[in-house]
Chain A
Amino acid sequence: MLAAIEPTTTWYLLLGAVLFGLGSVGLLVRRNPLVMFMSIELMLNAVNISFVALAVRFGDISGQTAVFFVMVVAAAEVVVGLGIIVSIMRRRPGATADDLAELKG
């Protein structure tokens, strides 16, 4: 009986929504820039799930192309982001997002 139920696009979209929500919670709660950054990766993966599920439902490939570009750009973003984080952590080991408060107002 259960085997007859097939997951529909809606299921994937709901999964994406939950993943996106978890990512945004992580971004707001965590103070370690590296983990905040991982939370953003979760959000990007939520986007990817939605894109692919919707592309398949349309039988249109351009949604998958979009995911391809998201991945390429995410790779570049990670390189740059980690570079910036390394340059800041080298100067101040153990810095958290709250410590970065020299600029305020």
Chain B
Amino acid sequence: MELLVFVAASAMVLGGALGVILMRNPVHSALGLVLTLFGVAVHFVALEAHFLAAVQVIVYAGAIVVLFLFVIMLLGVDSAEDLKVDGLTIQRPLAAIIGIGTVAIVSVAVLRTRSTIAAGPALEASGDSNIRLLSRNLFSDQVLAFEITSVLLIVAVAGTVLLTRKQSGPTGARKGS
């Protein structure tokens, strides 16, 4: 059963990823991204990381990809990108070499470290304690980082609003509320 879930979810992840990098239309790429993100969420469920699985679906698939699609539609750049035309002909093989090289090196390192990393099955039942454990950790050891991210979110929103705002005058016009 676990094997089946793993294979199915991995197929979603990798199929979606291939979709992102091969589809010519950005909208299709975004849909490929959704598939990958759902696949990752399934893996999280299988790994008993329930809270992260929920966040993955709500924040990543729900908010982030919708934002992508929204921007694609807003800008009207949903026209196909010609993958054949490539200014830098060296880039394609170079990318392949870097990609395959990364995968190969990491895989070899993982496999050689296998005995130390994962002797047994990775999965263990943990009941509903996942969220409790996570929140305990979040609000004790990592509480400062957690609070600081709130500043990051405020500033990101405030800055982005101004970046995308159409500037009206030669000098910064009065910003309304």
Residues of A within 8 A of B (CB): 2-3, 5-15, 17-26, 28-32, 34-35, 37-39, 41-42, 45, 48-49, 52-57, 59, 61-62, 64-65, 67-69, 71-80, 82-87, 89-90, 93-94, 96, 98
Contacts and interface: CB of A to CB of B under 8 A. Distances in A.
B110 A13 contact: yes
A8 to B, nearest CB: 4
Contacts of A39: 20-21
Interface string B83-126: 00011100110111011101100110011001001101111100
Interface residues of B, number: 87
B52 A38 contact: no
A93 B149 contact: no
Contact of B3 (A2, A37, A94): A2
B138 A65 contact: yes
Given A10-B110, A18-B103, A89-B77, A75 B3 contact: no
A6 B43 CA distance: 13
Contact of A14 (B100, B110, B130): B110
9 contacts: A17-B110, A19-B17, A21-B103, A22-B14, A22-B18, A73-B152, A76-B149, A83-B164, A90-B75
Given A34-B72, A67-B52, A12 B107 contact: no
Contacts of A89: 75, 77
B20 A34 contact: no
A87 B75 CA distance: 10
B17 A22 contact: yes
B3 A21 contact: no
B156 interface: yes
Nearest to B74: A86
Given A23-B17, A29-B95, A62-B141, A9 B79 contact: no
B102 A30 contact: no
Contact of B98 (A8, A17, A24, A38): A24
Given A56-B123, A80-B159, A86-B164, A74 B64 contact: yes
| CB-based closest 4 A-B pairs | A26-B21, A83-B160, A9-B118, A28-B95
Contacts of A19: 13-14, 17, 36
